[in-house]
Chains A and B, each alone.
Chain A
Amino acid sequence: MQIVDRRLNPKSKSLGNRQRFLRRAKAEIKEAVQEAVKTRKVADIASGENVRISSKSLREPTFSLDSKSGSRDFVLPGNSDFVVGDAIPKPPPGGGRGSKGSKDGSGEDDFVFSLTREEFLDIFFEDLRLPNLVKAKLKNVKSKELTRAGFSSSGPPSKLNHVRTMRNSLARRIALHRPSLKTLEELEAEISAAEAETPPDEERLAELRARHKHVVYLRKTVAYLDPLDLKFNRHERRPKPSTQAVMFCLMDVSASMTERLKDLAKRFFMLLNIFLQRHYREVHVVFIRHTNVAAEVDEETFFTGRETGGTVISTALVEMQRVINERYPVSDWNIYAAQASDGHNFSDDMEECLDILQQNLLSQCQYFAYIEVGSSDDGPYPPSEVWEGYEELVGVYPNFAMRRVSEPGDIYPVFRNLFSEEKAPA
């Protein structure tokens, strides 16, 4: 008999099978994932979730017998009071657990399983990409970072690398035959032993003393630690690719924005957030809400707080500008902005908005998306003031985009549309 410990064998041997399975069910999974976005709470979207798919493409048919035709005999255990000839009504078709134990019968067309967060997001954001990524990279070269860059033989004492230094010292001492302290001590002990002898063996004593002198001489000339041994840690300043992004969420919270419209906006913001998180190590989110005044608030207040007043969009843009200047230098941060509104604005404010955008914000942002939320019941609504105003930016600024959303189900298509690969300049 032989015992083998397999626990440390490479895990997930079935990974290949799982990938084949996912590829096979791709169409259905994709559908299910999109469905999930519509129905699920926004916060749960990315948690990697159970997905229910219909197993149409996952069928494994075989020639099997139809339990609803012909006649059959079978045996069951646990008879309590039946006698021969008793009639038992059949369980209703489909429902209940059939006494014949067809265990895969009913549930076969629906198949529930869980995707990992990674898999979910992969499918979710399949063939989406960040716009202007190339530009972002060029831009980011500005910021630099100290990184380790090997060792050097000169440097400040604070950067002395002890291990390397001592290693060199030891090698040199061995190479130059520097006698160790132990050798010296042994020699001295031998001398004193020889001295204690009566009568002392003068010849041997002389020889020992000469050796002692030589050892002491060697230990003096070959230093324990030589400047030659010193090694220092070296650091270099290297351009650092920016791995941080900040996302500005701007939203109109005036009375005309109902809960439903806010929810639509929220979904879009969340999607953008998850999407950015996949690309950057660190994503900050700044929430700015505005009526006729704008303020930076926390997430809770942003989505639930109530405020009344008119609508002046430019205030939010000014606030955003302020936050950028204060905390998010363009050289270090990739800046994304998403603005949601129902399209109302004081008409004479539009000009100022465009001004701020054109002068500053659009050149600082990687991407600026405007989402206009509205209810579909309103029918094909006429272009709003904001829509009309922003229209002149479209095309001129490749990093500006705007879309309309009226249903939760629209969010994902709109989002895909904004970030789909062919749209983004390579």
Chain B
Amino acid sequence: MQTTGKSATAKPLFEGADWTFDLVNKAYDACAEVGLEELGLDIYPNVIEVITSEQMLDAYASIGLPRMYRHWSFGKQFVRDEMQYRKGARALAYELVINSDPCINYIMEENSMTMHTLVLAHAAMGHNHFFKNNYLFQEWTRADAILDYLDFAKAYVTRCEEKHGVAAVEQVLDAAHALMNQGISRYPGANKHVSLAKERERALARHLYEEQSFNDLWRTVPKQQSAVADGEDAEKPKAQANLPEDNLLYFLEKTAPKLADWERELLRIVRNLATYFYPQRQTKVMNEGCATWTHFYIMNRLYDKGLLTEGSMLEFLHSHSSVTMQPAWNDRRFSGMNPYALGFAIMRDIERMASEPTEEDKEWCPDVAGCGDPVGALKRVWSEFRDDSFILQYMSPKVMRDFRFFGIHDESQHPHVFVSSIHDERGYRRVRRALSQQYCVSGSDPDLQIIDADLQGARRLVVQHKVRNGVLLDRANCERTLYHLARLWGYRVKLIEVDDETGKILKEHENLRMP
């Protein structure tokens, strides 16, 4: 950073806390100058929307997406957030940004001009660059299609509600939401990108096909006879060819015998949304780290150029340091790792290693240590990693020392937990591996697969949970979710928990669909 040089000669962008559209425009241009020209960020065009705090709560409630379809769970989320907000138990985020093209940034009207500048640097530059460049977002989401798709989904759900009743739609959506985390095809290439026109066409085609292929005569054919005539194995392999399947929603959409075409379409909508959010779940630390590092850089540059007053700079530093604060495990405020803190610390560390590496860095992160191009190194990291691989690759011993990390091993039967490693020479690798594992989404979600679906006889669906380290499913939740699964499948559903290593069956759950 060429920090010194021509100091505060320029006139500050703004003086007081009050903001106007004109000032926001100027601040954006100043941020863009640093972000695009100095850092060379590559972003989607930005749309900045000014909203009130109530609208922010609205946006929160619909998982951050505007134009979300209607569902009671969003109402529940809203009253919960509102309650906490009113009680002062939690503040609203300063911004909300949507991975879309153009990238939509929400800023709240009650914030000061300094905060608006910070938000522009953070979201409109940082997050935006990350969305456009990270490989996960590239592969799993289509930024230019999501807003159209949401419009389609919302209209579709509304039409279904009009046609089939709110209650019927709600039942399907409830069930689909319960299985949302099992609605993602985790292997690359498995997801075809969604586009509005194609989706609509497909929904219509599905409907037409059902209507055309409907033949009332089939009703008159005695059922028993046909079952016998076809023989038992005729259809079985067809359904089983695609098994095992880990995308439960996909399987149900394609195979569940009793669903109507609109119900299948609703499953598809939920599945597509789950897919859209999948990259976000995997890049919390990186996404926030990238945005925080970017705003820190831009704000400092603006200050160096004399575009920010000392007062704004202090206001910014205050909020920046509260956002990147990591309370210790025994602190009252501790509620898990703060992704802003961890992400920012590692990004800053990469910057340090690139320009002033120590011997230790050369050993631990040889590819960035001393490369002399911190921004280039960071941009590569932002585009090619996700949380778990990022931590595994770039969390240096210095960061672990700064956070004073220690590893815990927890055996459920034991009344104590044990410290398995601390931030010392012997512990670095183990701590790093454990933390990386903690951020691995496929590690924290249960591993569920459909292993058998009997389409002829009892029509039983069998789901298998591969139990790792003896961690079973939460029983009450499992049975309730199983109920939803059974409702979609239409027949008996069985869930077997099998130990991943020994193959021993640990537990079985079963749910019979109530007629």
Query: Nearest Cβ in chain A — how far from B383, in angstroms?
Result: 23
Q: Which one of B72, B83, B326, B472 has the greatest number of beta carbons of chain A within 10 Å?
A: B72
B410 within 8 A of A: yes
Q: Check if A70 sits within 8 Å of B469, measured CB to CB.
A: yes
Query: Nearest Cβ in chain B — how far from A75, in angstroms?
Result: 4
A60-B408 contact, Cβ under 8 Å, with A66-B474, A73-B437, A90-B415 = no
Q: Check if A111 sits within 8 Å of B80, measured CB to CB.
A: yes
Interface-forming stretch among B196-204, B217-225, B333-341?
Answer: B333-341
Number of interface residues of B (CB under 8 A): 100
A6-B407 contact, Cβ under 8 Å, with A20-B72, A20-B166 = no
A163 within 8 A of B: no
Q: Check if A12 sits within 8 Å of B54, measured CB to CB.
A: yes
Q: Check if A17 sits within 8 Å of B74, measured CB to CB.
A: yes
Q: Chain A, 70-85, contact with B by CB distance < 8 Å: what is the 0/1 string?
A: 1111111111101111
Q: Check if B78 sits within 8 Å of A20, measured CB to CB.
A: no
Q: Of residues 62 to 114 in A, which have CB atoms within 8 Å of B's CB atoms?
A: 62-80, 82-90, 97, 99, 101, 103, 111-114
Q: Check if B412 sits within 8 Å of A71, measured CB to CB.
A: yes
Partner of B474, one of A18, A58, A65: A65
Q: Of residues 288 to 343 in B, which have CB atoms within 8 Å of A's CB atoms?
A: 326-331, 334-337
Partner of A74, one of B25, B330, B334, B410: B410
A79-B405 contact, Cβ under 8 Å, with A3-B50, A20-B70, A20-B71 = yes
Q: How many A-B residue pairs have CB under 8 A?
A: 256
Q: Check if B472 sits within 8 Å of A65, measured CB to CB.
A: yes
Query: Nearest Cβ in chain B — how far from A16, in angstroms?
Result: 5
A65-B446 contact, Cβ under 8 Å, with A71-B412, A74-B434 = yes
Q: Check if B431 sits within 8 Å of A69, measured CB to CB.
A: no
Q: Of residues 253 to 291 in A, which have CB atoms within 8 Å of B's CB atoms?
A: none
CA distance A5 to B422 in the complex (A): 51
B480 within 8 A of A: yes
B478 within 8 A of A: yes
Q: Check if A3 sits within 8 Å of B470, measured CB to CB.
A: no
Chain B residues contacting A74 (CB-CB under 8 Å) are: 407-408, 410, 434, 438
Interface-forming stretch among A21-29, A181-189, A237-245, A304-312?
Answer: A21-29
B55 within 8 A of A: yes
Partner of A87, one of B79, B180, B417: B417
Rank and list the top 8 A-B pairs by shortest CB-CB distance, nearest first. A78-B328, A21-B75, A70-B470, A70-B471, A17-B75, A61-B480, A101-B336, A76-B329
List 9 A-B residue pairs with CB atoms under 8 Å apart, sorted by A's residue number. Answer: A6-B51, A17-B74, A18-B75, A21-B78, A61-B484, A62-B179, A75-B337, A77-B326, A85-B418
> Which residues of B does A touch, CB under 8 Å?
21, 24-25, 28, 32, 45-52, 54-55, 57-58, 61-62, 70-76, 78-80, 82-83, 86, 102, 106, 109, 124, 166, 170, 174, 177-182, 326-331, 334-337, 403-412, 415-423, 426-427, 431, 434-435, 437-438, 444, 446, 448, 465, 467-478, 480-481, 484
Interface contacts beyond A6-B49, A20-B170: sample of 11 additional A-B pairs, CB < 8 Å, sorted by A: A3-B21, A14-B58, A17-B78, A21-B72, A62-B180, A63-B465, A63-B477, A71-B469, A79-B405, A87-B417, A101-B334
